[in-house]
Structure 1
């Protein structure tokens, strides 16, 4: 005996059983439309998702009665015109919210229905993979500047699971086409985090058009902004920028005298920073931001002058999750707060329970919080690092509690050497060769202008990919596009081959960079 299991989960969206008047009706003269579905359904964000092309000043009314959707027109329909009602993602079943995507109802007030179409696909510029659920928008050329980024377009569709799209029942004319992967479903490009794509050239629709390729990119904001600024519970100032910088710097303008003692830690991506101040006896702060010494912006922060902060000096290490140190590397000790000084007599290291004398500890000059412990590590040996109480003192005078870490050095045979034999198509151009994990994380980048070898030493046995950026402006980094200036992102090509590195093995692979990223 057991409770009823309920059967398999419903994965099917509502299906249209009957339309009155029928879909594709000519000489349409009705005042309303009734659409009957095979199950109970709901409308979500109807006035955002549903659009009518050509658009109307007065929007229709949408009402649900059991399994039927009633659409009542409140505006006059133009004569001899093809109308397309696109329901977007508005229609979904009640129980499982399965969405009926890209459902359209078409009719004409004349004896002709527009039948031209545009089809193609949308890809992500960085991954070179096709993207699903992207809104593809078509704007009549006469409306482009007045609608794009301001109003929802009336002609749009969404890409399917294979990244393909089709815009149908189009009228002859000149159009601009865009693709938008949204942060919020309003079909308006109004957020820096949204991905956008466009064709620079106008599309002349006088016949069916296919194989349109739209490349999504995240547009770099033209104006620099600090999107987050706050003091955390330790008194550190956390700053987040709206874009990546090249060579950032920060200056404390007010109170006077604080700037000389500040410590700044920029993220690797240079789109955020942490600022440490020894003296926190102030109630407001003025900070200036620069890139390549060029002024960008100024930010103001407020704090209580007598606020108290709770700090605990802790440490992180460059060990794997299973407590292993990569061969032929130093042990990186990263404090959570910048260090003022340390006492080497309170730092000890044992190798297989035998003390190691004359420890070689060096400051990491690239970090305000990092130190290196250098040693001739031996594979299979067991190490224990102990930082006794007071071994490190941070810039606020706080000392660490007794702590430490146990680890082993990974076996060299678990790592490989790869020689990538690169052939470039044009020695007058720059290329950036990126070595990626199979999941797409960049491990290393190399700028090249001529054919030759790139050697990757000491990489874990795993699967890797190679990505190439066509560095047109020769600035050593990938540059995104911009809709206002009508510039496309720099081209990217990803090799189809997955490189498998085997234990204790020197591998060789050829990389022939094509002349064009998308031949």
Structure 2
């Protein structure tokens, strides 16, 4: 018995020594895990003064949370309505956020603070989304709401970075010189929602506010305005705003200024991998506007025999930066464009360095399919134009004169469809104009389902026309 005890004691000690010295067969000692990752946002423990306070007279608001927090892009996220003339100071300390009001508060007014996504915990960066705080300097809260949507007039799409503003004056200069009374952001569907409004009349605008001033500075800035002032009440209907922007202007090139180190005429063509679409013009696009163009010094021919082509013309755009070749293409045919070195000269005096040739081939007829679209509820009095879009680029536009659209040749692919309601009947979308004329933009409505066109196939589709007033 005594020897058995000594044997087991020695065996136990040997095992301990093996574990400590890391001998063969020993298990590694693994420290305990840290537990599940924190995925919850901070929780508000208390606010001083409390949320929904009446007769508010304080200058400082303190929010205390259940964990250490930090602020992220607070000035971009924070919205205070009514808009103060002087923005408050906002800072975080450990588990608290402190708001110091710098502006004088209006009497008998409901204030609404929306932190957006500014508050997050330090460790896992969990965002406390749409954290809000409300107080009133009077004995009651304004409780009216106003909702709506902002749509890009040219495409029917949305841009969730726009803001919506309520001004108390309808003067044109207000959007340039004055801060709005109320501001809100769009949600991910392009909708806006004002809360805690008084029963007053407002002028409604939306804009792209990249510089954070909440003012309209440039015609190239996305902008929208309601055609009439809006009276806020329990029965105020939702409002749709149509945002537009003018075309960006290219900066002028000073005389003698060179934009490229190459001392030759620079251009691109409309060819795709050396293939010419039967339905489109061949085009040159020049990096610098042209000073002169001599059509007698550029010749079109076919095949390897360079047989001259008859009955074609060149057309230039108003900027003298694009040349389009107008000709009836033959299918599956090799073409050559022979350009003498001085066929064109840009405004910097650059020409080709030598005679050059562009060779290409047209598509086969079997590369195309026919396309027939039948429209339901199409109102021809609204001057509808059918538009085809690929990768957010407009690739085709057709004025509709009946409830059926037919093209014997159409390039295969997947298309998004939209209807332009062409008020001035010029066949293209026109932006609005705010200052003075207060003209709304033309409206484009998207068709709900995309269209797939197959090659060498009779493609047909039935489309329910989207209403202009939806």
Tell me if TM exceeds 0.5: yes
Q: Does 1:40 align with 2:40?
A: no
Distance 1:40 1:447, change over 3 A: same
> Is the CA contact (8 Å cut-off) linking 1:183 and 1:191 kept in structure 2?
no
The CA deviation string for residues 332-355 of structure 1, in whole angstroms up to 9 with x for no partner, is 6677765547778xx89895xxx3
Q: Distance in 1 between matches of 2:35 and 2:155?
A: 39
Q: Distance in 2 between matches of 1:172 and 1:373?
A: 61
Higher RCO (C-alpha under 8 Å, 6+ residues apart)? 2
Residues 345-360 of structure 1 mapped to structure 2, 5 A cutoff: 355-360=304-309
Pairing partner for 1:229 from 233, 246, 252: 252
1:31 deviates by: 3.8
> Is the CA contact (8 Å cut-off) linking 1:183 and 1:194 kept in structure 2?
no
- Cα RMSD, aligned residues only: 4.5
Q: Distance in 1 between matches of 2:158 and 2:417?
A: 18
Distance 1:234 1:198, change over 3 A: closer
1:163 deviates by: 1.6
Q: Does 1:416 align with 2:439?
A: no
Residues 249-260 of structure 1 mapped to structure 2, 5 A cutoff: none
Q: Distance in 1 between matches of 2:93 and 2:316?
A: 67
More strand by share: 1
> Is the CA contact (8 Å cut-off) linking 2:201 and 2:232 kept in structure 1?
yes
Q: Please, which runs of 5 or more residues in structure 1 have no aligned partner?
A: 1-5, 237-307
SS at match of 1:148: helix
1:158 deviates by: 0.7
Residues 277-426 of structure 1 mapped to structure 2, 5 A cutoff: 311-313=263-265, 316-320=268-272, 322-327=273-278, 339-340=293-294, 355-360=304-309, 364-366=314-316, 370=323, 379=332, 393-395=343-345, 398-401=351-354, 404=357, 407-421=360-374
SS at match of 1:458: strand
> Is the CA contact (8 Å cut-off) linking 1:14 and 1:41 kept in structure 2?
no
Where does residue 432 of structure 2 map in the other structure?
Answer: 481
> Is the CA contact (8 Å cut-off) linking 2:301 and 2:309 kept in structure 1?
no
1:192 deviates by: 1.8
Q: Does 1:71 align with 2:99?
A: yes
1:216 deviates by: 1.8
Q: Does 1:22 align with 2:50?
A: yes
TM-score w.r.t. length of structure 1: 0.66
Where does residue 112 of structure 1 map in the other structure?
Answer: 140
SS at match of 1:228: coil
The CA deviation string for residues 23-77 of structure 1, in whole angstroms up to 9 with x for no partner, is 222343444211234443236463x764544455665443332342212345554
Distance 1:371 1:497, change over 3 A: closer
Where does residue 419 of structure 2 map in the other structure?
Answer: 468
Q: Distance in 2 between matches of 1:190 and 1:169?
A: 29
> Is the CA contact (8 Å cut-off) linking 2:245 and 2:431 kept in structure 1?
yes
TM-score w.r.t. length of structure 2: 0.72
1:130 deviates by: 3.7
Pairing partner for 1:498 from 408, 429, 450: 450
Residues 171-190 of structure 1 mapped to structure 2, 5 A cutoff: 171-190=198-217
1:99 deviates by: 7.1
Where does residue 16 of structure 2 map in the other structure?
Answer: none
SS at match of 2:238: strand
Q: Distance in 1 between matches of 2:85 and 2:352?
A: 69
Where does residue 62 of structure 1 map in the other structure?
Answer: 90
Higher Cα Rg: structure 1 or 2?
A: 2
SS at match of 2:366: helix
Where does residue 124 of structure 1 map in the other structure?
Answer: 152
Question: Is the deviation greater in 173-182 or in 76-85?
Answer: 76-85
The CA deviation string for residues 340-382 of structure 1, in whole angstroms up to 9 with x for no partner, is 47778xx89895xxx3243337552346674859798664x8x
Where does residue 294 of structure 1 map in the other structure?
Answer: none
Q: Distance in 1 between matches of 2:196 and 2:358?
A: 67
Residues 451-462 of structure 1 mapped to structure 2, 5 A cutoff: 451=402, 453-462=404-413
Pairing partner for 1:202 from 225, 229, 232: 229
> Is the CA contact (8 Å cut-off) linking 1:463 and 1:498 kept in structure 2?
yes
Q: Does 1:214 align with 2:251?
A: no
